[in-house]
Amino acid sequence: MPDSTAVDADEYRRMAAAGASHWWYRNTRELLAQLLVPHLQGREQPLLLDAGGGTGATGGWMARYGATVLADVEPMALDVARTDFDAARHGGHGVLPVQADLNRLPFADASFDLVLCVTALCHRMNPDPAAIVRDFARITKPGGVVCLWEPGGRRLWRGHDEVTHTGRRFAVRDLRDMAEAGGLQVQRATGAYSFLVPPAAVLGVLERGKQTSDVGRAESGLGGLFPALARVERRLLRRVDLPAGLSAIVVATKP
Ligand SMILES: C[S@@+](CC[C@H](N)C(=O)[O-])C[C@H]1O[C@@H](n2cnc3c(N)ncnc32)[C@H](O)[C@@H]1O
């Protein structure tokens, strides 16, 4: 598999199948909505971007709030997003899939009210994530929002990172620094899935040198334990930021 392809083809099929049901996706959408809906409400006909949106599994929900462009390099993912988030069949504004490279975004300055990017900067095909974040800032309207969500914990490397062609994981501080360097004002900078850090560290040792996807396994999250912990953490995240987690998140606004 050449490195220009961001993830293995089988991983797209797993992502599409798991998008609706896997506990991680369900909880991630909930947390994103918690963080972002307050920024979406009250905007007149907002235009939203799911950058590196894949099949729309984590960002497609935004189409309920405004027309959502989903930019990705992978035609197979765009096809899934087109079907899964078709406005005529599913209501909302629909998702408009666009084949585009995050390193050369084909959008005009100040186009979007919100740019969301979930687990895409980390890929090997993105040698300069800070430059991509600067470009996100460029295409965001003044007063608009940029949300970055990436694999957290620089050292928490697992078999899943191999399957998804991950080139790097990020400390929360890394995302904050990139957002600030792009001229954005950071509103939230936090870890999430902090309770997954110990099991991930153990898996990292057991899976050294192996390629193993997380997507096709643990659909229910250890019989409901992980979703229950995620609910508690979500409640906590209403009030405080966490210093670290298996995900790192920044929500920033453009002055
Ligand atoms: C792990 S998937 C995540 C997809 C989606 N954001 C989600 O959370 O389900 C990463 C996605 O980023 C896309 N991607 C990575 N680098 C990209 C680039 N430079 N240009 C466009 N898409 C990119 C990949 O094609 C892939 O669909």
pLDDT, position 4 = 45
Enumerate residues 6+ apart whose C-beta is below 8 A from 82: 95, 97
One-letter amino acid at 212 equals T
DSSP 129: H
Distance CA 237, CA 226 (A): 16
Are the beta carbons of 43 and 66 closer than 8 angstroms?
Answer: yes
Altogether, the residues listed in the chain come to a count of 255
Domain ranges of the chain: 9-253
pLDDT value of position 14:
67
- Return the structure tokens found at 185: 């004002």
Give the DSSP per-residue string, 166-215: B---B-HHHHHHHHHHTTPEEEEEEEE-GGGHHHHHHHHHHTTT----ST
Pocket of ligand 1 (CB under 6 A): 6-7, 15, 52-54, 57-59, 72-74, 77, 101-103, 118-120, 123, 125-126, 164
* 80 Cα: distance to centroid of ligand 1 (angstroms): 13
* CA 125 to ligand 1 centroid distance, Å: 10
Q: Which of 82, 107, 119, 124 to mutate to test the pocket of ligand 1 (most atoms within 8 A of CB)?
A: 119
For residues 147 and 197, give the distance between their C-alpha atoms in angstroms, rounded to a whole number.
Answer: 22
Closest listed residue to residue 187, CA positions, set 36, 80, 79: 36
What is the reported pLDDT for 176? 98
- Taking Cα atoms as reference points, which of 120, 6, 98 lies closest to residue 48? 98
Per-residue model confidence (pLDDT) at position 95: 93
Atom of ligand 1 nearest to the CA of 54: 27
Q: Supply 97's token pair.
A: 């899939």
Contact (Cβ atoms closer than 8 angstroms) between residue 158 and residue 204 = yes
| Residue 131 CA, distance from chain mean position | 17
Question: Tell me, which fold does domain 9-253 have in CATH?
Answer: Rossmann fold (3.40.50)
Q: Are 63 and 94 in contact (CB under 8 A)?
A: yes
CA distance 224 to 241: 24
Give the H or E element holding residue 141.
strand 140-151
pLDDT of res. 19: 75
For residue 40, the CA-to-ligand 1 centroid distance in Å is: 23
The two structure tokens encoding residue 169: 């994981």
Instruction: Tell me, in angstroms, the distance from the centre of ligand 1 to residue 164's CA.
Output: 9
Distances (CA, A) of 118 to 42, 58, 70, 247: 24, 7, 12, 10
**pLDDT string in tens for the chain (255-residue length):** 334 455 565 666 666 777 778 899 999 999 999 999 999 999 999 999 999 999 999 999 999 999 999 999 999 899 888 888 877 666 678 899 999 999 999 999 999 999 999 999 999 999 999 999 999 999 999 999 999 999 998 777 776 766 777 889 999 999 999 999 999 999 999 999 999 998 888 877 776 666 666 655 667 777 789 999 999 999 999 999 999 999 999 999 999
Beta-ladder partners of 1: none
pLDDT for 205 equals: 75
